[in-house]
Amino acid sequence: MKHHKLFHWIVRLVCLVGAVVLALGGPVPSLLARVLPGLSPLLVLAHSLAGRSWYVGLFWGLPPLAVLLAAVWKGRIFCRWVCPAGTLFATAAACKGRKRFMKVRLGGVVFWMIVAGAIIGFPLWISMDPLSSFNRLTPLFRGTYAAASLIPGLIVPIFLLLGVFQPFIWCFHFCPLGYLFDLCHFKAPKPVWKRDETRRHIVLGLALGVPLALAAKKLAPLAPSGPALKPILPPGAADPQSFASLCSRCYACVNVCPTRVIKVKMPLGKRLGQFFHPELDTERTYCEEHCNQCSQVCPAGAIRPLTLDQKRSRQIGRANVIKKACLAWEDGEHCMVCQEFCPYFAIEASESPAGIPRPVVKPEVCRGCGACQSECPAVRMGKAIIVEGIEKQGQAIDA
Amino acid sequence: MEFHHSPVSSVTRRDFLRTGAMGTALLATPCSLLAAVPKADVWVFHGTNNSSLMQACLKVIAANGGFGTSARSLAIKVNAAWARTPEEGANTHPDLVLGLVKGAREFGITSVDVPEHPCNRAEQSFTRSGILDAVKEGGGKMIDMKSSRELFSEVSIPKGQSLTSAKVSKHFLEADAIVNMPVAKHHRGATLTMAMKNWMGAVEDRGFWHRNDLHQCIADFSTFMKPTWTIIDATRIMMDRGPQGPAQTLKTPNLLILSKDQIAADAYAATLFHSNPRKVKYLALAEKMGLGVVDRAGMNIHSIEVPA
């Protein structure tokens, strides 16, 4: 018995360390950043429902399928042996807290809310998935300066703390993935569908899920402060609305981005459904020409895979010159750094009467990578060329 | 044979007249000015094999004082700024870099540093350009100047007009000898970029140069930074869409230009693009400031054919 317990903990710790390594990258290829959040069958279910298609390929589809089958066989076996969040909560449970301040089990409600949202194409609460929640902690340790990721990253630490007082409060009272495992566990002594509360969970989940998802879709920004720019989404993202809802906030893309241009911003001036989704901040760095890593690691299908060539011609935003701030337009300097850095020749020179070249953006060629903005040397009024996201990503023309 | 069509050896009637006209103009200038600017030696190597070009170049360097008798450390300023392949001509050709890094050992150099403050991220530009591999293979050390602010030291540039101080890569300040080895190419901001402008990749804040008269700053920095040798890679030159390219027109003069005077080297290289080097404003400024030779008449040009 003792040996069994020791073995159990060794497996759990190995899985926990493995999860941390996968999430942080480092010794393993960055493509593996999607493995941990991609293990969740809940994610695959929600996104397939919302996207009305099976979005995940055979290779990446097998692990979550295996997890699901394991649940049919043994219920919450994944929670007890593999789930890194589960392992953390188990360590908190070792404190043997005895409080029971949370009595109702909401995991079912959350699960059915996700399903309801997914059916109307907006799986809003998918960010409650524990594997994405665990992964969400990692941008902090990668030095991505995504301070805003702290807030959505708090789920695991908060429940770790609560778990000290009431053991496994997350796992049994909130976790939608754990509920899915219970739901699949046909051979359980008392399967979920035979429980009295199940019907209540479904009704409550649907009743709350549909209006909340609709509201999040439609609700105006909370604090529209000034002319807010449209967010620049990672290349391969669908339209802003779908992206915001499909994204499980696992931040795998934030983690793998070699230039750290993908960040998490504070939700000022954003719709409820757009809170804390990853977006590009091209003020200091930019999206590289020969890179498609973010599009390869999204486990949720919010960013669809692009080949390097497809990525190279993908239009994710558009640059605008602010003439008043521009060294060439306003100060008559020989600058054109924006043109120099543009890998796509999207900036043309319009010569002044005095022979000074001044930048003009060709909107159909501009990809919105932000190389121009990040390298613009103007300081008097801030950057003189600024990239804004576009409503729908498309194909740019080669100059 | 192709060499005879290059502007180096064939003195056409037009060139002859132009040189004559320049000579006349020079004769008309006061003698004191003439005396101030001695004739600059410029060696021009022609050949299709880059390794052989560098071999020939090193022989000339050896015959002309090498890197100094007591030089043990060498810092090379290549151009490895862009995530472009060697064929695209946006960076110094890696074969030339390899030849120099390896060849420097023969001169008693024990450590070769290749610091670069690239435009694109180092991981992309150093690898795609092939230069990182070349430096490693040659036994040198490539340094990404983006990696730490500690790698720069502040220097003052007393003769500068717009640029009076700059934070410069320490390696160039500490090395016994310096080689400036840029690629010659079109540049939409600065007209052309060759040796003088290459030093922008050794300073921390390029933005200052752009805000404060780029051409003057380039000329100013040349009053401070005087490399032991300047080797300009003109094996293939981007005629447009510089500095990043890929160019629509890429010419292959197959030349390597060597001089101790980086302004003379630039002026020579400029003639591969247009007839008058003074079209490049920083060259005109450098001439005005008396930093080096811009006129062909002020140079001893040694043309050397290098068999492949």
How many CA atoms lie within 13 Å of A333's alpha carbon, on the beta-carbon side? 23
B interface mutation test: which of A30, A337, A383 has the most B CBs within 10 A? Answer: A337
Contact A379 B211 (CB under 8 A): yes
Which residues from B are below 8 Å from A334, CB to CB?
Answer: 189-190, 210, 213-215, 281
Do residues A397 and A364 make contact, with C-beta atoms less than 8 angstroms apart? yes
Dump pLDDT digits (tens) for A208-226.
988 888 887 776 554 444 5
| Bridge partners, B156 (sequence order) | B165
Hey, CA dihedral for A195, A196, A197, A202, is it positive or negative? positive
**Residue B226: count of CB within 10 angstroms of its CB:** 14
**Is residue A97 scored above 80 in pLDDT?**
no
What per-residue confidence (pLDDT) applies to B30?
Answer: 45
Q: What pLDDT was estimated at residue B9?
A: 41
Residue A272: pLDDT over 80: no
Residues A131 and A177: beta-carbon distance below 8 Å? yes
Instruction: Tell me, yes or no, if B39 comes closer than 8 A to chain A by beta carbon.
Output: no
Confidence of residue A40 (pLDDT cuts 50, 70, 90): very high
Whether A258 sits inside 8 A of B243 (CB atoms) is no
Band the pLDDT of B13: cuts 50, 70, 90: very low
Read off the pLDDT band of A266 (50, 70, 90). Answer: confident
**In chain B, % of residues over pLDDT 70:** 88
A348 CB near a chain B CB, below 8 Å?
Answer: no
Please tell me the distance in Å from A355's CA to the nearest CA on chain B.
12
pLDDT, mean of residues B193-200 = 98
CA-based nearest distance B206→chain A, Å: 8
Q: What is the pLDDT of residue A144?
A: 53
Whether the CB-CB separation of A36 and A22 falls below 8 Å is answered with: yes
For the residues A307-323, what does the mean pLDDT come to? Answer: 96
pLDDT at position B12 is 46
**A340 contacts B243 by C-beta, under 8 angstroms:** yes
Cis peptide before B246 (omega within 30 of 0): yes
- Share the mean pLDDT of chain A: 88
pLDDT at A114 over 80: yes
Q: Is B240 on the interface with A (CB under 8 A)?
A: no
Amino acid A53: pLDDT: 78
8 Å CB contact between A359 and A321: yes
Amino acid B103: pLDDT: 97
Check residues A196 and A168 and name the one with the higher pLDDT: A168
Torsion of CA A176, A182, A184, A188, to 10 degrees: 180
Residue B32's pLDDT band, with cuts at 50, 70 and 90, is: very low
Q: Of A29, A20, A26, whose CA–CA distance to A297 is shortest?
A: A29
Q: Nearest-CA distance from B214 to chain A in Å? A: 6
Rounded-to-integer distance, Cα B167 and Cα A160, Å: 48
Q: Which residue has the higher pLDDT, A96 or B44?
A: B44
Mean pLDDT of B77-94: 97
Q: Are A262 and A288 in contact (CB under 8 A)?
A: no
pLDDT higher at A340 or B13: A340
**B207–A377 C-beta distance less than 8 A:** yes
* Residue B106 contacts A, CB cutoff 8 Å: no
Residues A226-244: tens digit of each pLDDT? 556 788 999 999 778 788 8
Q: pLDDT band at B216, cuts 50/70/90?
A: very high
pLDDT, residue A21, reads: 87
pLDDT value for A291: 95
Q: What confidence tens digit (pLDDT) does each residue in A126-141 have?
A: 889 999 999 988 776 6
Output the CA torsion sign for B204, B207, B210, B216: negative
Q: Model confidence at B24, in pLDDT bands (50, 70, 90)?
A: very low
Considering CB atoms only, which of A289, A327, A345 is closest to B211? A327
CA distances from A101 to A157, A165, A166, A172, B103 (A): 18, 9, 8, 13, 76
Look at residue A216 in the predicted model and tell me its pLDDT.
75
Do B215 and A334 make contact, defined as CB atoms within 8 angstroms?
Answer: yes
Query: Which of the four pLDDT bands, split at 50, 70 and 90, describes residue A271?
Result: confident
pLDDT score, position A223: 44
Helix orientation angle between A41-51 and A107-119, rounded to the nearest 10 degrees: 30
Chain B: closest CA distance from residue A334 (Å): 6
Q: Provide the mean pLDDT of chain B.
A: 90
DSSP annotation of A174 reads T
A331 contacts on B by Cβ (under 8 Å): 211
Q: Does residue A96 surpass a pLDDT of 90?
A: no
The structure tokens listed for B77 are: 């300023």
Give the confidence band of A57 by pLDDT, cuts at 50, 70, 90. Answer: confident
Task: Provide ipTM, 2 decimals.
Answer: 0.85
- For residue B10, pLDDT over 60 is answered with no
CB contact set of A196 (below 8 Å; sequence gap of 6+):
none
Non-local (6+) Cβ contacts of B14 within 8 A are: none
Cis peptide before A299 (omega within 30 of 0): no
Asked which of A114-128, B117-131, B134-148 is least confident by mean pLDDT, the reply is A114-128
- Relative to beta strand B229-238, strand B177-181 is parallel
- For residue A279, the cross-strand partners are A263
Q: How many helices (H) and strands (E) does chain A have?
A: 19, 6
- The predicted pLDDT at position A140 comes to 67
How many Cβ pairs closer than 8 A exist between chain A and B?
A: 63
Query: Which residues between 258 and 297 in chain A have a beta carbon less than 8 angstroms from any beta carbon of chain B?
Result: 258-259, 288-291
Give the highest mean pLDDT range of A182-186, B29-33, B157-161: B157-161
CB contact under 8 A, A290 and B124: yes
Exposure b/e, A383-395, CB count within 10 A at least 16 = b: bbbbbbbbeebee
Quick check: B5 pLDDT over 70? no
Quick: pLDDT tens for A132-170. Answer: 999 988 776 665 556 677 777 888 899 999 999 999 999
